[in-house]
């Protein structure tokens, strides 16, 4: 006796044809780091294989990814000068603003540009907002986030992605964007962002480790699930076009619930620690990098993600082309 599933799996063509999860390269977003300076392309030891660019060389990073088949980019700025209010995040000469202008001048609509909107890389204390009495002051931070989002839109950004977890961010950004005529710029909200040790390599790459305390007052406790769903709903009510769950692999239950309970697209961010773990374990000969990359990405889509933000974007496009996933 041979079961139906076995008959189907015996044939490669049928196996692919009957896959329950579909993955396309258009669903991938590739994060890029841009620092102050000229002619810089430096390796990031904490993120093997990733490069930190300056606003001029980022064109090379974007071009390589476009050639590989990636269309969407999430940019993180690493400014030289930081201050208490993160003023370089909304300067029209900021690193991400200049990078956007350069990329749009060279690639136009071929490159879809998303700006991470947060102050932590730009503040001297490394927190995601203005500090008052040793605490992040939510409401005064909102005005700066709105200014930041606007400056990204003016520089050619196609979408803004607020990641600072301040209450009321989505409403503040939507109002500011609409007032200035950027009604078509969507907001992808980091709605369920957990206080996670998986961000470690990113903080090295972006220079955004808090100088005191931690982010537990504004990022979420990993014991909580209902809280995530509530925050997601609040962000949708405020006007988020896409909601995000971050990190991805340890939070697939949240991705799955978000998919079931909402009607907006769900993005998952497979963060720096997830990438670095696979890379270093593979470099040590302990796991097979390619297969683990494919399996992890497929699991995130299987959980219900529509969009995946991943440092493996280029490699995943190749895997989709070969039919190994997708």
Catalytically active residues, by annotation: 193, 246
Return phi, psi of residue 12, to 5°: -55, -45
- Which of 198, 200, 178 shows the shortest CA–CA distance to 187? 178
Question: What distance in Å separates the CA atoms of residue 236 and residue 239, rounded to the nearest whole number?
Answer: 5
Q: Does 33 bind ligand PBG (CB under 6 A)?
A: no
Q: Shortest approach of ligand PBG to residue 20 CB, angstroms?
A: 28
Q: Does 199 bind ligand PBG (CB under 6 A)?
A: yes
Residue from 28, 99, 118, 177 binding ligand PBG (CB under 6 A): 118
Q: Which residues of 53-69 are buried (b: 16+ CB within 10 A; e: fewer)?
A: bbbebbbebbeebbebb
Residue from 202, 218, 251, 301 binding ligand PBG (CB under 6 A): 202
**Of the two residues 114 and 264, which places its CB atom closer to ligand PBG in the complex?**
114
Residue from 272, 307, 308, 320 binding ligand PBG (CB under 6 A): 272
- Please list every residue from 204 through 223 that binds ligand PBG, using CB under 6 A: 208
Q: Which residues of 291-314 are buried (b: 16+ CB within 10 A; e: fewer)?
A: ebbbebbbebbebbbebbbbbbbb
Question: What distance in Å separates the CA atoms of residue 205 and residue 107, rounded to the nearest whole number?
Answer: 26
Q: Shortest approach of ligand PBG to residue 277 CB, angstroms?
A: 12
**Of the two residues 119 and 177, which places its CB atom closer to ligand PBG in the complex?**
119
Q: How many CA atoms lie within 13 A of 79 on its CB side?
A: 24
Residue from 163, 169, 296, 310 binding ligand PBG (CB under 6 A): 163
How many residues make contact with ligand PBG (CB under 6 A)? 10
Bridge partners (DSSP) of residue 270 are 310
- Residue 315: which H helix or E strand, with range? helix 313-322
Sign of the dihedral defined by the CA atoms of residues 252, 297, 272, 193, in that order: negative
Q: Shortest approach of ligand PBG to residue 100 CB, angstroms?
A: 17
Q: Shortest approach of ligand PBG to residue 65 CB, angstroms?
A: 16
**Of the two residues 208 and 262, which places its CB atom closer to ligand PBG in the complex?**
208
Q: Does 19 bind ligand PBG (CB under 6 A)?
A: no
- Which of 96, 51, 123 shows the shortest CA–CA distance to 311? 51
- Per-residue x/- mask for ligand PBG, residues 119 to 158, rule CB under 6 A? -x--------------------------------------
Residue nearest to ligand PBG (CB): 202
* C-alpha angle 210-212-215 in degrees, rounded to nearest 5: 55
Which residues make up the interface to ligand PBG (CB under 6 A)?
A: 116, 118, 120, 163, 199, 202-203, 208, 271-272
């Amino acid at each position: 006796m041979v079961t139906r599933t076995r008959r189907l799996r015996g044939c490669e063509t049928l196996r692919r044809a009957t896959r329950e999860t579909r993955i396309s390269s258009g669903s991938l977003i590739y994060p890029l780091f841009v620092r102050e300076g000229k002619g810089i392309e430096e390796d990031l030891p904490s993120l093997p294989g990733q490069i930190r660019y300056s606003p001029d060389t980022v064109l090379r990073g974007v071009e390589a990814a476009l050639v590989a088949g990636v269309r969407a980019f999430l940019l993180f700025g690493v400014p030289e000068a930081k201050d208490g209010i993160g003023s370089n995040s909304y300067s029209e000469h900021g690193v991400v603003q200049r990078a956007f202008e350069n990329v749009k001048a060279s690639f136009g609509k071929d490159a879809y540009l998303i700006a991470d909107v947060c102050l932590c890389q730009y503040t001297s204390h490394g927190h995601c907002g203005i500090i008052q009495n040793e605490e992040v002051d939510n409401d005064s931070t909102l005005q700066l986030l709105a200014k930041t989002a606007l400056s990204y839109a003016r520089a050619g950004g196609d979408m803004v992605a607020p990641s600072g977890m301040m209450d009321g961010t989505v409403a503040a950004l939507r109002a500011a964007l609409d007032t200035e005529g950027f009604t078509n710029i969507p907001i992808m909200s980091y709605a369920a962002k957990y206080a996670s040790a998986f961000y470690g390599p990113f903080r090295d790459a972006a220079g955004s480790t808090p100088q005191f305390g931690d982010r537990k007052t504004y990022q979420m406790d990993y014991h909580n699930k209902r809280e995530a769903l509530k925050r997601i709903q609040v962000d949708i009510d405020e006007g988020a076009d896409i909601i995000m769950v971050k990190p991805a692999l340890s939070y697939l239950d949240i991705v799955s619930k978000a998919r079931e309970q909402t009607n907006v697209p769900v993005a998952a961010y497979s963060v720096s620690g997830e990438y670095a773990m696979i890379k270093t374990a593979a470099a040590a000969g302990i796991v097979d990098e390619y297969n683990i990359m494919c399996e992890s990405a497929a699991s995130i889509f299987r959980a219900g993600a529509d969009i995946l933000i991943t440092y493996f974007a280029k490699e995943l496009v190749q895997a989709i082309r070969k039919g190994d996933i997708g």
